[in-house]
Amino acid sequence: MLQPWIPEQEFIETTNIYQYMLSLQMTDIAVFHRWTVEHYVEFWEKMLKQLAIVFQQTPKAICDLSLGSENPRWLPGAKMNISDSCFTAPSHKTALIFQDQDKQIKTISYSDLQKYVNRIANSLSQQGFKPRDAIAIVMPMTVTAIAIYLAVIKIGGVVVSIADSFSAEEIATRLQIANTKAVFTQDIILRDQKELPLYEKIVAAKTPCIIVIPSTAVILNRAFCGEGSPAYREIPRYARDDSYARDDTVQRENDLLWEEFLVENDQYTSYACEPMDACNILFSSGTTGTPKAIPWNHTTPLKTASDGFFHQNIQADDIITWPTSLGWMMGPWLIFAAMINHATIALYTDVPQKPAFGKFIQDAGVTILGVVPTLVATWRQSHCMEAFDWQRIKLFTSTGECSNADDMAYLMSLARNKPVIEYCGGTEIGGAYLSSTVIQKNYPACFSTQAMGNDFVLLEDNAKSSVETGSREIPAESMRGAGRRVFKGEVALRSPAMGLSTELLNADHQKIYFENMPMDANDVRLRRHGDQLQQLANGYYVVIGRVDDTMNLGGIKTSAVEIERALKGIDNIIETAAIAIQPEDNGPSRLIIFAVTQENLDKNAVKLQMQKKINQLLNPLFKIYDVVFVKELPKTASNKIMRKELKKHYVQ
């Protein structure tokens, strides 16, 4: 095992988690974690105050379990709108940092962002949108995208989060599942010096109404900057003169240009929602091939903000960036974790694999940098980030797929040996169940603790009996060789926990997460998750993959069935099976395609055909590592593909 980062006592005493534990007269993190789980009512009472959560009507209780622990109702009796809690920072404080088209660093205050959100909220109301309407955002994570996101929530609406990298077919599927009323998108995406059509793709998805925003780093209106302002150049062309014709952009009568949509009124009172009302619909692939539509409600962001407070140690003077979008849970996570904790978000919409991203991190003064492991592997191979001064970074944080220890050690070195906070969870958790903290030793690619407020057990591979997690049985300092693996098992979560999903729009939530799961020691049914962990002798964990047919590719969760469906129709290929293989160094998963054929085919040619189909129908970020030709696939009596057998075959 590589050498850990070890926090100094002087630093430890400045951290959120240390100060919070001190207020409870606790010094042991394992004891504190148990308290957050076993006394979750008191924990969340204190966290609502710590995070300054805004209520229009205070809750009568923290949790109502009258429907059972599998169906908790959080904050009963309350009225709230979580967007209000994103604007409790001092009004003059910087909310967002971004680059203009000349690569100059610009900022927007919390006050100006709130006015922008209010203008969009008024515009939505004027167009006839109502509370509970589903409104999609399919565009890069710009200033305007964030403002739209918060405005939809502010009117009581539900944001439908869809990644702009998806195909028109995949976008259409998600829009239909959510019963979407309208979509916000851009005309094109400017990425890596290329213009990628986006509005045309949304039109092809047969959306009822599209609001089209010009492609630019940020959209600001004359209400925020006069002609003499440095930010005036960010105003779209049609907002400065009449040369930007509607016919140049809009193809359909019901669609709107941004200027036609946006009104001037910047005052708006948020709609009072029930805490369990949906505010965001996100999608996570399941084993059926149809994406699961997972609603986040107005309490889910409390989990994200709490995680950011305890694990990423987000403080008011932090500047955070994470290459992501609103289509993946880390986009909404970033908004709530940063803004509720009064921090600043740095937005970068171009590709993060190039040196320009490294310069942006340097120039913006980023203090917390989020990554996916595949991105770090790319940096390590190209050395493209080594020329920049990242000394202001206080920590990295990584999620989306399994990390490689050597890659993470390299990442730490880019900022003079700063820790990497591993963060493992899911859309249906609202954050993490497993992470690390900055008051513990930080081993590359390892997790030091369960997330505060969350609890899990490990189910042994050969039985459905539960094995208690090691945080109590193996103290963190009783090390008999830090790298010796003790046991592994499937993660099963304990309920209730703030952030855990309670419904799915298009599937049976109870069946997917609880059916056939064992009971814990307290006779409460455990919740299925699907990750597989190994625990080390020092009590730390490593994630070793999934136990079902889902996989993480490039930090994006997808399913084998989705990939196999996209690969239909290739000449001389009878059937395919997709698996994800974890490399020996425990880095990012590799996509392997088994293809049934009776012909002698050119492997490279078939691989190119398959990659093209995946690019067109799913996502170009899903890269095929290898193709294996076989005469037939191993299947069960019910004709299900035996993917475990394929994995064994490939490894051998």
Residue given tokens 């974890």 in the structure block:
582
CA distance 6 to 378: 27
**Rounded to whole angstroms, how far apart are CA atoms 176 and 276?**
23
| CA 444 – CA 464 distance, rounded (Å) | 31
pLDDT band of residue 401 (cuts 50, 70, 90) is: confident
Q: Which residue has the higher pLDDT, 289 or 488?
A: 488
Confidence category of residue 217, pLDDT binned at 50, 70, 90: very low
**Locus of tokens 């998108």:** 185
pLDDT tens readout for residues 537-590: 899 999 877 776 778 887 787 878 789 878 988 989 988 999 999 887 777 889
Q: What percent of the chain has pLDDT over 70?
A: 89
pLDDT value at residue 248: 66
What does the buried/exposed string (b/e) look like for 413-446 if buried means 16 or more CB atoms within 10 Å of the residue's CB?
ebbeebbbbbbbbbbbbbbbbbbbbbbbbbbbbb
Residue 486 has, within 13 A of its CA and on its CB side, a CA count of 20
Residues 467/438/146/78 CA torsion (nearest 10 deg): 60
Residues above pLDDT 90, as percent of the chain: 69
Domains of the chain, earliest start first: 87-98+108-261 (3.40.50.980), 550-651 (3.30.300.30)
The mean pLDDT value for 309-320 works out to 99
Decide the pairing of beta strands 134-138 and 158-161: parallel
CA 43 from chain centre, in angstroms, equals 24
Per-residue pLDDT averaged across 599-619, rounded?
A: 93
Count CB neighbours of 272 within 10 A: 16
pLDDT per residue over 278-305, tens digit each? 999 999 865 556 889 999 999 999 999 9
Q: In whole angstroms, what is the distance from residue 295 CA to residue 105 CA?
A: 35
Whether the per-residue pLDDT at 209 is higher than 70: the answer is yes
End-to-end CA distance of the chain: 26
* Helix (H) / strand (E) containing 103: none
Classify each residue of 76-96 as buried b or exposed e, where b means 16 or more C-beta atoms within 10 Å of its C-beta: bebbbbbbbbbbebeeeebbb
Amino acid in the structure at residue 563: I
- Mind giving me the DSSP string for 140-170? ---HHHHHHHHHHHHTT-EEEE--TTS-HHH
DSSP assignment of 385-428 equals: TTTS--TT--EEEE-SSPPPHHHHHHHHHTTTS--EEE-EEETT
pLDDT at res. 370 = 98
Residue 530 CB-half CA count within 13 A = 19
- Taking each continuous run of H as one helix and of E as one strand, the counts in the chain are 20, 31
The per-residue pLDDT for 564 is 87
Name the E strands within 13-99.
63-64, 73-74, 94-99
Work out the average pLDDT over 633-649: 75
Beta strands per DSSP E along 412-477? 420-422, 424-426, 431-435, 449-450, 456-460, 466-467
Note the pLDDT tens digit of each residue in 133-169: 999 999 999 999 999 999 999 999 999 999 998 899 9
- Position 636 scores a pLDDT of 56
Sign of CA dihedral 644, 645, 651, 652: positive
Contacts of 566 (CB under 8 A, 6+ apart): 613, 614, 617, 618
pTM of the model: 0.85
Model pLDDT, residue 449: 98
Write out pLDDT tens, residues 227-274.
444 343 444 443 333 444 566 678 788 999 999 999 999 999 999 999
Determine the pLDDT at residue 288: 54
Closest CA to 323 of 296, 346, 356: 346
Confidence of residue 471 (pLDDT cuts 50, 70, 90): very low
The answer to whether the beta carbons of residues 24 and 35 sit under 8 Å apart is yes
Residue type, 4: P
Number of neighbouring beta carbons within 10 Å of residue 4: 18
Count CB neighbours of 475 within 10 A.
13
Tell me the mean pLDDT in the region 436-464. Answer: 89
- Those residues whose C-beta lies under 8 Å from the C-beta of residue 262, and which sit 6 or more positions away, are 119, 120, 123, 221
Longest dimension (CA), the chain: 73
Q: What's the CA angle centered on 81, arms 78 and 86, to 5 degrees?
A: 125
> What count of Cα atoms within 13 Å lies in the side-chain half-sphere of residue 491?
25
Q: What does the pLDDT average to over 594-599?
A: 90
pLDDT higher than 70, residue 486:
no
